[in-house]
Structure 1
C-alpha cells in the first residue's frame, strides 16, 4: 500500500483495524509484508521507536515459514528494514554493529542458499547483501 502511494497513516490504520482478522492471521505473509513495509517507512523517516514497534511485530511472524510468495516478499521487506537499522547502528558507531552486520549477511546468504524464495526475489536479496558489505566496509565481497 505504501509503495502504491497511500499515505502511511492510512496503511497503519488499516493494519490496526485488521490485526485480528482471521484471514490475515492465517496468511501470515500479508501482515509480515505490511508490518515490514511500515517499519521501513518509519526507518526512512528516522522514527526508530515506531520502526521498532512494527519491526518487532514482523519479527514475530518470520518464524511461521508459510511457503507463499507473500511470505517471501515479506521476508525480503523485513530484511530490508534490518539493513536500514544496521546502517543507523554503523552511523552511530555502536560496538555490536559489525557483529549484527555479519549475522544479517549470514541470514541473507542462508535465504539465497535455501533456494526456497524463487528467482523473483534474488535481485532484492543480492542487493541487500551487497549493501550490507558496503556498509561494513567490504565493497569487494
Structure 2
C-alpha cells in the first residue's frame, strides 16, 4: 500500500516545531488565501502544499513512482516595516536552516531542496514571506 500522499506536510510542521520556538504557531493550511483571510497571530509559520511535478512521461500503477513534491513555508508577521522585515528575515533563516537538506523519511523522500518561491505579499500591516521546498517523493 502506498503512503499518505500528503504526509510530508505534517512532517514539515513537526520538524519546524522542534527547531523553532520563537513563534506563536506553526500549522498547516490549504493555500495562501487561507492564511491571509483567516484569523491570524503574529509571528506564525504556515506550511502549505503547492503541487506535484511528475518528471518524465508518466506514472505506472505497478512500480514505485518518482514525484517532485513542492511545499511552501510562509512567515506571517504583523508590525511596522522595519520590525516586520527584521523579524521575518530571522524566521526565514531559521526555517531554511531547519528544512534545507533535511530528510524526513529516507525510505520515501530525498533531502529537501530550496526552490524559487512566489513573491512576498503585504496587506495593511501584515507581511507574508514564503520559502519553497521541493522533495523527491517516491510513492
TM-score, normalising length from structure 1?
0.31
Decide which structure has greater helix share: 1
Higher RCO, 1 or 2 (CA under 8 Å, sep at least 6)?
2
TM-score, normalising length from structure 2?
0.31
Q: Which of the pair has more CA radius of gyration?
A: 2
Decide which structure has greater strand share: 2
